[in-house]
Amino acid sequence: MAQQCVNAFNLDTLYFMPCALPAHKAAPGISTQHRINMLNAAIAPYPHFELDLRELNRAGPSYSLLSLQELRKEHPTTPILFLIGMDSFNNLDKWFEWKAITQLCHIVIYQRPAQHCTVKGELKSYMQHANAGEVAALKHSLAGKLYFLPGEMLDAASSTIRKQLKKSNKKNELLPDAVSHYIEVHQLYQIDA
């Protein structure tokens, strides 16, 4: 998904921003340091990928709005792309000040197999108004557009991978070898963890 985004938009850098205290999901069951180490292992082979730890360094819940406000101040004249999955987009209207988010960045949506857009109400209206259809449209404005990212669609939801790891300590084919090795060495995601 990240590599498809880099290729589609010809990006120099794509930042991974791990969430500290998710506002819409259960807190991670793995320590922050383990999460950082696994992310570093996963992105090491990719020169365009980097970590942005701002949400881990902030106190309180991780609101995307706060990070995007900071990024907009840091990059006032650069379009910002916010890459999310279809599952997140379908619930965007439940996010903290979601309309303000759409004015700070362009939202790029990746759709996994068997996922469908199920938005309604104001979010559906936003989608119909903001859907760009072409990459070029996102380069000519700072924010406000929506783009559905085409490309290979792998069914690699993190929740599914974690469930599989709890059932079996075998290597998961959807994880990079370095991450699988790290999980095995540190015995993460096991039933007793």
Confidence (pLDDT) at 131 = 96
Indicate the SS3 state at residue 16.
Answer: strand
Per-residue pLDDT of the chain (193 residues; tens, 9 = 90+): 899 999 999 999 999 999 876 555 555 578 889 999 999 999 999 999 999 999 999 887 788 999 999 999 999 999 999 999 898 999 999 999 999 999 999 999 998 777 789 999 999 999 999 999 899 999 889 999 999 998 666 655 565 666 666 666 556 666 878 888 888 888 787 754 4
Beta-bridge partners for 62? 22
Pick from 141, 65, 146, 55: which is nearest to 100 by CA?
A: 65
Over the Cα atoms of the chain, what is R_g?
Answer: 17
The answer to whether the CB of 153 falls within 8 A of the CB of 112 is: yes
44, 16 Cβ separation under 8 angstroms: no
Q: Which pTM value belongs to this model?
A: 0.83
Range list of H helices, the chain: 2-9, 32-43, 64-74, 86-90, 98-102, 121-130, 135-139, 158-167, 177-186
Please provide the distance, in angstroms rounded to a whole number, between the alpha carbons at the two ends of the chain: 29
pLDDT for residue 1: 85
Model pLDDT, residue 193: 42
Label each residue of 112-154 as H, E or C: CCCCCCCCCHHHHHHHHHHECCCHHHHHCCCCCCEEEECCCCC
pLDDT at position 128 is: 96
Give the per-residue pLDDT at 168: 63
Q: Residue 130: what are its φ and ψ, rounded to 5°?
A: -95, -15
Instruction: Dihedral sign for Cα 57, 175, 84, 193, please.
Output: negative
For residues 155-182, one letter each, b for 16 or more C-beta atoms within 10 angstroms of the residue's C-beta and e for the rest, the string is eeeeeebbeebeeeeeebeebbebbbeb
DSSP reduced 3-state for 35: helix
Provide the pLDDT for residue 160.
Answer: 61
- The domain ranges of the chain are 2-155, 163-193
The architecture that CATH gives domain 2-155 is 3-Layer(aba) Sandwich (3.40)
Q: What pLDDT sits at residue 104?
A: 97
